[in-house]
Structures are given as structure tokens and as C-alpha cells.
Chain A
Amino acid sequence: MFAYIMRRIGTLGVILLGSSFLLYNLAAISGDPIGELKISQDPRAKQQIIALTRELQLNIPPPFRYFLWLRGVLGIFVGKLDLGSTRTGESVGTAILSAIPTTLRLVFTASILAMVLGISVGIVTALRQYSKFDYSMTFVSFLLFSLPIFWVAVLLKQFMAIQFNNWLDKPTISLGALVIIGVVIGLIVASIAGGARRKSYSIFSAVALSTMVVLWILQKINWFLEPGFGPIFFFIASIGIAFGVTQLSVGINNKSALRSSITMAVVGLVFYYPTKWAFKLSNQTLVLLAMAALTLLSAVLVSLFFAKIDKIAIIRTSILTGIFMGLIRLLDQLMSTWPRFISTDAINYRPVPTVGQANSLLEPGDYWVTTLDLLMHLILPTVALTAISFAGYIRFARGTMLEVLNQDYIRTARAKGLSERTVIMRHAFRNTLIPLSTIIVVDFAGIIGGAIITEKVFGWKGMGTLFNMAINSFDLNLLMGVFFLTGTLSLMANLVADLLYSALDPRIRTGSGA
């Protein structure tokens, strides 16, 4: 095993060395960093050419300059990594370090969302193979596959930001729009639910009608300018979560689990007003940490009170319920911040931004307003990235799940008389995750590389923008810095994926050579 890893790391080094030499020279001959200055009539261009030639060592031919760069990189072994400096004299290391958090913030959320959504939808389509839902999701996933992100971004900005903000100026929904929205949502839900024609009709009419009624009530009570759940809806949502989580986690027949999750919902309701007070305190990071700890603690205590056997599973169920309830509570708190947020001078009743990472005109100090601002800036790029990338996960999860469901051990499990829930969640789902885990690892390495187009369209400056800038301004050191990081990460990720596969799947052995 150890020998295998060492051998792999050895090859990794050789690949990096060869590819970096190739890339360095190809990039160096592709453009002239001082080209624009040569044709500039600015009397000061001459001094700029002198300075850049000196700082970027342009008088040394690229094949030799590569080794100067390599010397800095090899400094990593003595703890002095030096990736050189950019055209503007900034250290490449610093530039990359400041870009990584931005990229993570942008791509991480979207990737997690895409994975969770894609895998769950994929598995459901596999369970309902050849149903209406399966066909419609197949259609949707191929549609999303084929959309270019810059176009999706333009549409999202037009409809979810510009038009939405205009609408918010006078948030009323006309009767015609109300009917159309109701019918569309009804159709979607009915197609997902499937079943006989009659059942479809009743689901469609129920959903369509209730959507219209709910929207009508919401606009009458001016909910779009002053949104929120309030304690009652919070409690109803919590009960729903309690049932749902229990069903997926241990089955609704486990009475102690159900009792303890429902108790969690009651505890949540009791703490509704105290949390409201706590959200006004000064140090919100501390408050949130304390709340998370309290939620965990109460989940454990409540389940210990109800559980007689199988304690771990029940604790897990309660904790999951608590986490989801906490998220709903946070959403409610953000909603109650909304009126305060949109009436600030900096926002001026146009809350959805199309570009940037934060509104710098917003007065700092109000934790919830700043958080809401960050989230509003995150919303469009995240939706765009998720929409584009989750289609892949749907297809992959569906295929893997179908293959697993056809295995002999699934038939055996069913023959044993296990409940369908146990067969799916415990035997099929877990085995589906093995091949998925390797994809996820490689995808995560890709995340650091950034999303060049998305970052540009939404005005974020992460790794993708650095890469783009490096290419456009012939900034060789910056380009090589980005390449060095992404190249190393993706090679490492491949190694980790291989090791992970062998750890998860006992049929596969690495390194013995046999």
C-alpha cells in the first residue's frame, strides 16, 4: 500500500514537471507581455517596458526562465514556496490565497446543492423508472446540460433581479398571472406525483387552487415586503420535518423516534421567542454557536428520554430534525430582517443585485442585514451554477442506482422480508454512493480551479478570474501559479479517489500488484 502511494506520488511529480515545462513555454511564446506598451504613444511607455523587463526577467529566454520559476516552486520543500510576482508586483501566492475563499464561497455552496439535489432526484427517478416523473426529469436534465452558463446568467439577472426588483416596487400579482402560476405549479407537482389519471387530476386541481389562494393571501397581507413565518407556521413546518426525517431515517413505525422528533418540534416552538430576543444581542457568531450547541444538546437529551433500544439511530433522527428546524428558524429570522434590509439607503428597495460579492455602501454593524446582503449576492450565481451542474449528478445517480437495484443482494434483501425502506436506504442507497464518492472527490478538486465564466459574469474575483486575467494580460507567473495549484490538486484528487474506492469497496485492492 505504502509503496503504491509512493509510486503514484512519484509519477505525479513527473507529470507536473513535464506539463508545467510545456505549459510555461507554450504560454510564453503565445504572447508578448509588453506588446501593448510597444505600440503605445504614451511617453512613459518606455519606462514601463524597462521596469517590466526587469521584474519579469523577460530578457531570459522562456526555456531557461522556466528553471528560475521552478527553483521558486521547489522552495516548497524548504518551506519557502515562491511563485514569483504578477505584473502589478503582487506576490502570486498572495493573489491565489485571496482568491481561494471567494471561489470556495461561490462554488462550494453550488456544488453541495447540486450534489444533494442531483443525487436525491437521480435516486427517486431510478425508483420510479419510466414514470412520468422519470421522463420529465430526464428531459430537464438534458435541457440543463445544454444551457450555456453565460446565457442562463443573463436570463436569471433579467428575471430574478431586474424584473423582480421592479415588481417589488408595487408587489401585486394580477389575476391572470395568479392563474398561470397556479396551473404551472399544479402541472409540475402532478407530473412528479404520478399515479392514475384520476389521482393526477385531483392532485393537479388541489395544488393549483391552493397555490393561487396562498399567493393571493400573501400579496393581500403585503407578505413580499414584510415576509416571515411566525411561530405558528414555524411549528407546522417543524412537525412536517419531524415526520419526514423519521420516515427516511428509521421508519415511521419507530414510535420512540417519532415521539422524540415531535418533542423537538415542541421544544423549537417553546424557544421561538427566546431566540428572537437572542438574535438582537451584539455578538451574533457566539449566539449562533450557542444555539447550535443547545440544539444538539436538547436533541440528545430528548432522544435519551424516549429511546429504549437502538439509541444511536434515534439520536441521529432527533439531531437531523433539530438541524432542519434550526435552518427554518434562521430563514424566518432573515425574513424578519427583510423590511429593515430593503429600506436602507444602499439597497433602496432593490434587494436582488446582479453583480459583485457585497454592497460596500451598506453601513456595517447590523449582523443580519450584512448576512442578508451577502446571501442576496450569492443567490443568482449559486442558482446558475447549480442549475448547470446538477443535471450530471441526476444522470449518474440514476444509472448507478438502477444497476445496484438489479444486484442479487437486493433481491436477497427483499426475499428476507425487509421493508422497502430498509432495502432502499440501507442496501441500495449506500452501495450507490461508492462510485459517486469518487466523482465527488474529483469534482471538489475542480472547484478550486474556479468557474471562469460564472465569476466573470457575476463580477466575482476568484481563481477563475485570476486564470482569465493571467491569460489576457500574458501574466506568466500568475498563470503558472494557478496551473500549479489546480494541476497538483486534480492529480492528488485522482489518487485520493482511487484510495477511497479501495477503502469503500472491499472487492478492490490497491498496490499489491496481483
Chain B
Amino acid sequence: MKKNRGAKVALAVLAVAGLALGTLSPANAATRSTVVIVDSNTFTSLNPSQPDHNLVLNGNVAYLSSMGFAYYNNKVDYVRNTAFGTYKITKRTASEFKVKYTVNKGVKWSDGTPITGVDLLLSHILSSNDYSIAAGLGDPASDTLQSFDSLGYNGAYNELIKDVSIASDRMSVVLTYKKFFPDWELYGPGPSPVHTLMALANGEKKLGTYPHNVALKSKFLTAYQSKDTATLKKIAKVWSDAYDITTVDSKTNPLLLVGNGPYLVSSIVKDQTVTMKLNPNYNSGPATSGIETVVFKTIPDSTAAAQALANKEVDVYEAIATADSVAALNKIGSAVNVDGFAISSYEHVEVRSGSAQGVKDKYTGPFAGYSQQAKDLRTAFLLAYPRQEIIDKIVKPVNPKAVVMNSLQYFPGETAYKKMVADSGAEKFTEGTQAQRTAAALALVKKYYPNAGTTGVKIKMLWGQPSNPRRAAEAALVKAEEAKAGFDVDITPTQGWSAFLEDNKYDVQFYAWSKTAVTQSGNYGSYKSTESQTGYENATVDEIVSSLETDVLTPAQIYAKYVAVEKILIADAVSIPIFQWPGVVAYNSDLKGMDPAPLSPTVLWNVWDWHF
């Protein structure tokens, strides 16, 4: 009896102690499998291939929910996704160029339906003006709305690809090009779940059975091949409207959420969060490493995002890189890693040499034309441009390793960068100290304007929105240094500045170019006389860029052409780069596998490698 009571007391004490321990030490030891990512946008559509909905967050959601034949990695290589399928050139003669894309047997949509070549055909409908016209879906080049409200029309795809046909086993498609094109890989087809599009067009509200889905696929193929306007228009309506939803819950039609990527949308709270869960049937790409739920949370304010990170509400935040934001993120402490990385945007300055094509009035400012005087004045302006000072005062607080960028094609750090700088003659603008360069510039200006030392040559500069403090600081530095070289620079900010890029009122403009893909023609397209916003005209540049855009070239030949263009641009003194934009990502230090890429979707590109 007594013993029994003792045992009871001991048990009670243990139980109380256990309870107390249970309440005192939170049970947060379990392995996490949810990652919350900050995005400053709100979600507007499951289909980002429409012009209205081509927004970062929509694109990121689509990136996670679909896998195609290739993607960019963090070294800017275009990696082939062999888990999904393969592609190879099947015919290449002077007049013919054909590429065959084959989907692997066994890869599946999330509803279990096998992915076949039929699923690759929609991208042709979405990008080919010719097909759209032939199938009676409207002329995308006209001003009226087409059946498919697609972003793909009127682009290079339409100019290059003649036809897409399906192979007899229905696992492959063959793209027939009008002629060979160096960047053909970027215009390959992507998979779309056409059976769900057909089902949605029929008004179905539930996932179909396997035979039903296969039958729907065949019907789509027939419609594609016979250019059945009525059926295609029904699909177009679904494709253009049905995916524009901002709320997803249990009442949402599951047909809209079918995909083949690692994560699929499971719920969306309007303007707040997009929740994506692991796709149980995922076998179209690299295997995931343990993250089961990815949440995109909309936080427009950068301070709010940093504090949410400190409060462990979010795990990943790609910040707008300013000195303040980096300082705030670093202050959070060891719970958060802050990594800088380079993004594929670069600030550059362009000096006007003429009127852009299509602009009626003639540019008559001090930099007009290609006479020795105009060239000297442009050279003087660029010599006095305080690039090192801009980097020291504006970029280094964000990225301490930042350096002046001296090639319009290669970023500092890329393998070819050093050689290019040596070969292109970039030292014309880097020799000596800034004071020496400015003095040389003043001497050049004084040749034509002897009074430049006292009354400067009037220059108007375009640089952007007054609300952008970094640009305002840059402009102020430029004004101060150019004054010493005999230029009186007007840096009045311009509301809606980008509308004035072709405006002859402005003699100089600086802004950033942002790369979205790596192409053989590189970054020089905007210096062709047909494209140049500052009216630059040079027959040799036009010829080289056209050749880069269309010819089959070896890497050595490509490099030689790049050097040739840069040499001419430097000699004509029309444009120099300033710096590469820094990016910064802050994330929960428990999260492993983060390795951001320069090109979109930057931090997300290897989400399958992430784990806690």
C-alpha cells in the first residue's frame, strides 16, 4: 500500500515535471520542410506568357510548376534537362535546318497523364504569327486583340521557325527553321498540358481519367494539324482568361493547377501568399532535396521584409541592393546569411551622335556627327566621366568588391573579360588618374571652345526619375566632375524619363541594360543604326552585328567580332559601361543549397537543391 502510494507520488512528480518541461521548451526541433520566399509583387495569373501578366512573381510560380528541355544555371550555361527529354539537330544544309525534340518515355503530368510530343505543339501556336493567321486566329501584328493573348508573337521565333510537326510515335516534334540561326536553342518548344486545356474548353471541372485525357490529347492534335479554328478559339479563350485567377482554394478547378514542375500551386490568398506543394508525380527534372512546401509572400517594403526575416516569418529575401538595405540585413545576426552576387544588369552611359531612326528633327548639339570635333568632344565627356568615384561612393557600400566595368559584353569576373579589356583599347578611358583624365578632357574641349574654362559647354543629361536617390547621386557626381572639364551639365530630373530616350533634347543619357538571355549577338544589338536610341550610325558595326545575329561562327570568330565592335565604339566615343549591378540575397542560415544565378529567376533557379 505504502509502496504503491510512493510510486503514485513519483509518477505524479514525473508527470508534472514532464508537463513543465513540455511547456517550457518549445518543440521546434522537428526538421523544417517549408520555405517562405519574399516577393515584392502580387500574383496576378497562373499564365505569365500573356503580355499583361509577364510579372516576376507569376514567372517564378510558373518556373516551379513546369520543366522544359533546358534552363540557365548560375554560371549562365544553358543546361539541358535530360530527365525531361533530349534534342538534336537532324538536318543542317545551306537551305534547311531542322531540330528534333524528344520527350522521355515515362515523364508525367501531375495528374498522371504521360507527357508526349503533342504537349509541345501549343508553343508553336503561341509564337508563330503565320500559324495564327493560317488557323484563322487573327494577325498578331495588327493592333486588335488576337485569340491567344500571347507574349510570344512578333518575335524572333516567328521570323525563324517555319513549321513544327509531330513524329509518328508522338513522342517527338521536329522544328523546321527558315534558315540556320545561332541562338536556335533559346527558341525550343515547352510543354503545356493540352489535355487540361481541352477539358477546360469543354467546361469540365474535374481531373479526367487516363483514357479520357489520352482521347483529349488526340483531339488537340487533330485540331492543330487541321487548323480547326473553332476548337482552337475555344482553347484560346481558356488559355487567355481562365488562368487569370488571384485566389486558389478548395473550390478552384483542379484542371488549372496541372503541371510537371517540382512544386504545384495548392493555395493562393489574394495579394498575400502563393503556397506551392511538392508534385507527387514529379519526374521531369532534377530531384528535390527535402523542401515540401514553397510559399511566396508578398511584402512590398524592404524594411518590412528585413524585419520579417529577423522574426523568422520568412526564409529567403532577395533585397534591392542599396547600402542601407545591406546594412539592415547584416544587423540581423547569425540567424541570417547575407550573400552578395552579381546580377546581369549594367549601368552605362551613351552620348548622342545623331537622331534615332524615325525621329524627324535633326540633332544639332555639340556631340552631333562624326567629325573630329564631335569625336573629341564626346571623348572629352567620357574621359571626365567619374566612373571610379561613382563606384567608390555608390556601389562599394553595397558590394565592396565592385570595380569599374570596361567591356560592354563581358562582366568583370567572366573569363574573357581581361582579354577583352586589353584587346579593345579600353585604356583610352582608364589611363592615369581621374584628375589627369579630366585635365586632358579640358584641353580637348578648349581646342573648340576656348572659353570652356569659364563658361562651360551646355550639355543636357537624361538620367531618370527624381525619386531614385542612387541615380540622383550619380548625376550630381557627374555634374561636378564634368564642370572641371568645361562642360556645364544640366541634370534636371525628368518625370517618365524613359519616354525621352530618343529625344534630341538630351545630349547624354545613363541608365541600365538588363540581360535576360545569352545570345550570340551579345549586348551590341542596341548600337545598330536601326536600333540606336542615340542615333549612332556605323556601317561596320551594323554589318558585324548582323553577322553575329545570323551566321554560324566559331568561338574565336565571335570573340574577334566582339573586339571589333568594342574598338569602334571606343574610337567613336559613343558609349562606355560603368558598373555591374550588385544583387543581394538574405536567407535563413539553416537553409542549405542557396547559390543564386545572374539571370532570372536568380535565387530560385536551383530550388530543387534546397534543404534544411
Question: Which residues of A come within 8 Å of B, CB atoms?
Answer: 29-32, 35-36, 38-44, 46-48, 50-55, 87-90, 98, 150, 153-154, 157-158, 161-162, 165, 169-170, 222, 225-226, 339, 342-343, 345, 348-350, 352-358, 360-361, 456-459, 461, 465, 474
Given contacts A157-B304, A357-B269, A358-B269, 12 further A-B contacts (CB under 8 A): A29-B496, A41-B515, A47-B155, A161-B307, A343-B27, A353-B311, A353-B313, A354-B313, A355-B305, A360-B269, A461-B298, A465-B300
Question: Within the complex, what minimum Cβ distance (angstroms) separates B553 from chain A?
Answer: 20
- Given contact pairs A32-B496, A39-B498, A88-B45, A361 touches B301 in the complex (Cβ within 8 A): no
Interface bits B529-567 vs A (CB < 8 Å: 1, else 0): 000000000000000000000000000000000000000
- In the complex formed, the residue of A with least CB distance to B273 is A360
Question: Within the complex, what minimum Cβ distance (angstroms) separates A365 from chain B?
Answer: 12
- Given contact pairs A98-B270, A353-B311, A353-B313, A52 touches B514 in the complex (Cβ within 8 A): no
> Which residues of A sit under 8 angstroms from B498, Cβ to Cβ?
32, 35-36, 38-39
- In the complex formed, the residue of A with least CB distance to B467 is A472
> Which residues of A sit under 8 angstroms from B151, Cβ to Cβ?
44, 47-48
A-B contact pairs, 25 of them (CB 8 A): A30-B495, A36-B498, A39-B513, A41-B516, A46-B154, A47-B152, A48-B151, A50-B154, A51-B149, A54-B144, A88-B53, A98-B270, A154-B307, A343-B26, A349-B26, A355-B304, A356-B297, A358-B269, A360-B272, A456-B301, A459-B297, A459-B298, A459-B299, A459-B308, A461-B42
Contact yes or no, A356 B51, CB < 8 A: no
Contact yes or no, A360 B143, CB < 8 A: no
Give Cα A127 to B155, complex, Å: 75
Contact yes or no, B496 A348, CB < 8 A: no
Contact yes or no, A48 B269, CB < 8 A: no
Contact yes or no, A358 B300, CB < 8 A: no
Interface bits B31-50 vs A (CB < 8 Å: 1, else 0): 00010000000101100001
Question: Within the complex, what minimum Cβ distance (angstroms) separates B305 from chain A?
Answer: 8
Please tell me which one of the listed residues A30, A46, A348 contacts residue B26 in the complex, with CB atoms under 8 A apart: A348
Q: Is B55 close to A, CB under 8 A?
A: yes
Contact yes or no, A154 B303, CB < 8 A: yes
Chain B: interface residue total (CB-CB under 8 A): 69
> Which residues of B sit under 8 angstroms from A50, Cβ to Cβ?
51, 143, 154
> Which residues of A sit under 8 angstroms from B156, Cβ to Cβ?
43
- In the complex formed, the residue of B with least CB distance to A461 is B271
Contact yes or no, B311 A41, CB < 8 A: no
Number of A-B contacts (CB under 8 A): 175
Q: Is B94 close to A, CB under 8 A?
A: no
Give Cα A254 to B144, complex, Å: 79
> Which residues of A sit under 8 angstroms from B591, Cβ to Cβ?
none
Please tell me which one of the listed residues B273, B312, B495, B513 contacts residue A31 in the complex, with CB atoms under 8 A apart: B495
Question: Within the complex, what minimum Cβ distance (angstroms) separates B502 from chain A?
Answer: 9
Interface bits B140-175 vs A (CB < 8 Å: 1, else 0): 100111000111111110000000000000000000
> Which residues of B sit under 8 angstroms from A35, Cβ to Cβ?
496-499
Contact yes or no, A165 B311, CB < 8 A: yes
Q: Is B267 close to A, CB under 8 A?
A: yes
Question: Within the complex, what minimum Cβ distance (angstroms) separates B584 from chain A?
Answer: 19
Contact yes or no, B52 A461, CB < 8 A: no
- Given contact pairs A46-B154, A350-B312, A358 touches B272 in the complex (Cβ within 8 A): yes
- In the complex formed, the residue of A with least CB distance to B146 is A51
Please tell me which one of the listed residues B53, B297, B313 contacts residue A350 in the complex, with CB atoms under 8 A apart: B313
Q: From residue 266 to 288 of chain B, which have CB atoms closer than 8 A to chain A?
A: 267, 269-273, 275
Contact yes or no, A355 B307, CB < 8 A: yes
> Which residues of A sit under 8 angstroms from B273, Cβ to Cβ?
356, 360
Please tell me which one of the listed residues A42, A88, A357 contacts residue B272 in the complex, with CB atoms under 8 A apart: A357
Contact yes or no, B155 A43, CB < 8 A: yes
Contact yes or no, B52 A87, CB < 8 A: yes
Q: From residue 468 to 509 of chain B, which have CB atoms closer than 8 A to chain A?
A: 495-499, 501
Q: Is B71 close to A, CB under 8 A?
A: no
> Which residues of A sit under 8 angstroms from B52, Cβ to Cβ?
51-52, 55, 87-89
Question: Within the complex, what minimum Cβ distance (angstroms) separates B525 from chain A?
Answer: 8
Contact yes or no, B304 A354, CB < 8 A: yes
Contact yes or no, B152 A44, CB < 8 A: yes
Give Cα A48 to B27, complex, Å: 50
> Which residues of B sit under 8 angstroms from A32, Cβ to Cβ?
496, 498-499
Q: Which of A36, A343, A361 has the most CB of B within 10 A?
A: A361
Contact yes or no, B310 A31, CB < 8 A: no
> Which residues of B sit under 8 angstroms from A158, Cβ to Cβ?
307
Q: From residue 132 to 146 of chain B, which have CB atoms closer than 8 A to chain A?
A: 140, 143-145
Contact yes or no, B23 A31, CB < 8 A: no
Question: Within the complex, what minimum Cβ distance (angstroms) separates A143 from chain B?
Answer: 22
Contact yes or no, B44 A88, CB < 8 A: yes
> Which residues of A sit under 8 angstroms from B24, Cβ to Cβ?
170, 222, 225
Q: Which of A36, A360, A458, A461 has the most CB of B within 10 A?
A: A360
Give Cα A453 to B144, complex, Å: 39
> Which residues of A sit under 8 angstroms from B54, Cβ to Cβ?
44, 48
Please tell me which one of the listed residues A38, A55, A354, A360 contacts residue B499 in the complex, with CB atoms under 8 A apart: A38
- In the complex formed, the residue of A with least CB distance to B145 is A54
> Which residues of B sit under 8 angstroms from A150, Cβ to Cβ?
303
Interface bits B248-280 vs A (CB < 8 Å: 1, else 0): 000000000000000000010111110100000
Q: Is B28 close to A, CB under 8 A?
A: yes
Contact yes or no, A474 B496, CB < 8 A: yes
Contact yes or no, A222 B300, CB < 8 A: no
Contact yes or no, B511 A39, CB < 8 A: yes
> Which residues of A sit under 8 angstroms from B272, Cβ to Cβ?
356-358, 360, 459, 461
